[in-house]
Amino acid sequence: MTNRELVELALYSSKKLEVFEEEMGQEIGYVQNGLLLMLADDPESLADTIEMQRDVGVELGVLEAQEMKNFHPKGEMNMQGVGVGLYDKKAAYADPYKVTVGYANKARELGAQVRNGVLVTDIKVENGKVTKVITNKGEIATNLVLNIAGPWASRINEMVDVKNVPVGLMTLQHALTYPDGDYEPMTPTIIDNSIPGNLYFVRPESGGTVLIGMDKDDPNKKVDPDNYYFDPPFNTLADLFGLIIGRMPFVKNYRFQNAFGAPDAVMPDWNPAFGCPNGAPEGYFCALGFSGHGFKLAPAFGEMIAQMVRGEETKFDTGIFEIDRFEKGLALGSQQNVMG
């Protein structure tokens, strides 16, 4: 399940990432390898969402289970429980670290100061307007503050007494593996969301490695964003890797290089939250709660953040992502388990 606005933003962002090197002068390891999403649903039940995505401009192919059996160049896949596959041949992957560095360097080139390793500890407000940011390295006078602090966004909101934005925490885990033999960078990404309660993806990574992304989270676990790295217990990993090997027997001899995880801010409806929260001081803006899919939306949201703080109309309609939608009872359809 997805919504039109999100598809438009993701498509726009993917086109910006495709020309990132040209526009920002930074190579980002962009590889357009295509992506196959496997679902348990029958194709008819997805007809509306498929039509909507095609209408927006996504070149979406629809595959039946038997057509996917020999889709993966490394070996046969077991199609048990898969009802349909959605294939986007233009989907790509890129290095998020290089993208961040590329944007930061371009901003510097255009006159911005980018300061690393500076912790915001407080925000001062006078007469209902933000006036100053206090950091561990001094104070900065300003009439504009943007809260884009991801998993730490609630802490920043509390500094200006904003308590009505329900930002939660989720975690995402990755295992970097060595395949047995060559694994071409153009090998398509497979996302398997056909097994209830489980989601994983398998895609090529640099240096001939294979990245396995896992989202089998305990929604009740307490996450400390200052101290999170990778915590799935062995039995969770054993279950999940059992499912992955069951689907793709060819991964059974792959070996771990390392495993890592990190938190992300998640909203109750798994959609980003954008704008000035109710009761916030003048000059205070938020773009937060990217709910596990902030990388693929970053170019679009980055542009819209700039437009918002300049008081301009945003390039895309952000109405549905309004930050106060939860207290207004306008939460969106869930984007849970969106990866890519």
Residues that bind ligand FAD (CB under 6 A): 119-120, 148-152, 172, 174, 261-262, 264, 288, 290, 292-296, 339-340
For ligand FAD, the closer CB: 296 or 325: 296
Contacts of 149 (CB under 8 A, 6+ apart): 120, 155, 156, 288
Min dist CB 293 to ligand FAD, Å, is: 4
| SS3 state of residue 283 | coil
3-state secondary structure 167-189: CEEEEEEEEEEECCCCCCCCCCE
The letter for the amino acid at 181 is G
For ligand FAD, the closer CB: 97 or 312: 97
CA 320 centroid distance within chain: 18
For ligand FAD, the closer CB: 189 or 314: 189
Question: Checking phi first, is residue 154 left (phi over 0); if not, alpha (psi -120 to 50) or beta?
Answer: alpha
For ligand FAD, the closer CB: 225 or 283: 225
Min dist CB 122 to ligand FAD, Å, is: 9
Min dist CB 180 to ligand FAD, Å, is: 24
Q: Distance between CA atoms of 340 and 336, rounded to whole angstroms?
A: 12
Min dist CB 93 to ligand FAD, Å, is: 8
Min dist CB 338 to ligand FAD, Å, is: 8
For ligand FAD, the closer CB: 152 or 284: 152
For ligand FAD, the closer CB: 63 or 265: 265
Min dist CB 241 to ligand FAD, Å, is: 17
Q: Distance between CA atoms of 38 and 152, rounded to whole angstroms?
A: 33
Residue 4 host element (H or E): helix 4-18
Residues forming beta bridges with residue 129, ordered by sequence position: 126, 282
Q: How many C-beta neighbours within 10 Å does residue 114 have?
A: 11
